[in-house]
Amino acid sequence: MAVKRRKSKVKAPPVGCPLTACMQFLKGAWTPNIIWYLREEPRRFSELMADIPGVSPKVFSGRLKRLERDGILTRQVIPTSPPTVEYSLTDLGHELTPAIEAIVQVGHKLKQQRVV
């Protein structure tokens, strides 16, 4: 005899669900890492690349452009020779940091449970 499927007691998310909208900003590799490393101070491209090993410059540049377009970070060109570019979080970007910090805390707990 088959087990009867229960209906969910959780309401379906509203159209344009805020959770879905927020996750659109965080999706994709490297986005949480970028926000993590920009949460304290502005960083230059090369500094961020050193902070986040394993990403290619092309992919990283595209991710930074998308985050700038989405209003998560700003890009400031500093008139030096050669020109320097610094990235920093916007107010909206800073609002994402508590969520990322919470994910990091859960990650620490998960790592502790997996004793090697």
pLDDT value for 115: 57
User: Does some domain include residue 114?
Assistant: no
User: Does some domain include residue 10?
Assistant: no
Q: Is 93 exposed, middle or buried (0-12, 13-18, 19+ CB in 10 A)?
A: buried
Q: How many domains does the chain have?
A: 1
Who contacts 59 (Cβ-Cβ below 8 Å, separation ≥6)?
A: 29, 30
Residues facing residue 85 across a β-bridge: 77
User: Does some domain include residue 43?
Assistant: yes
User: Does some domain include residue 94?
Assistant: yes
pLDDT value for 37: 95
User: Does some domain include residue 21?
Assistant: no
Report the C-alpha gap between 111 and 9 in whole angstroms: 31
Give the range of the structural domain holding residue 94, as residue numbers without chain letter.
26-106
User: Does some domain include residue 69?
Assistant: yes
Q: Which of 68, 110, 103, 69 is nearest to 87 (CA)?
A: 68
User: Does some domain include residue 11?
Assistant: no
CATH code for position 100: 1.10.10.10
The rounded average pLDDT for each run of 10 residues, N- to C-terminus, in the chain (116 residues) is 83 75 79 94 95 92 93 94 94 93 90 74
User: Does some domain include residue 98?
Assistant: yes
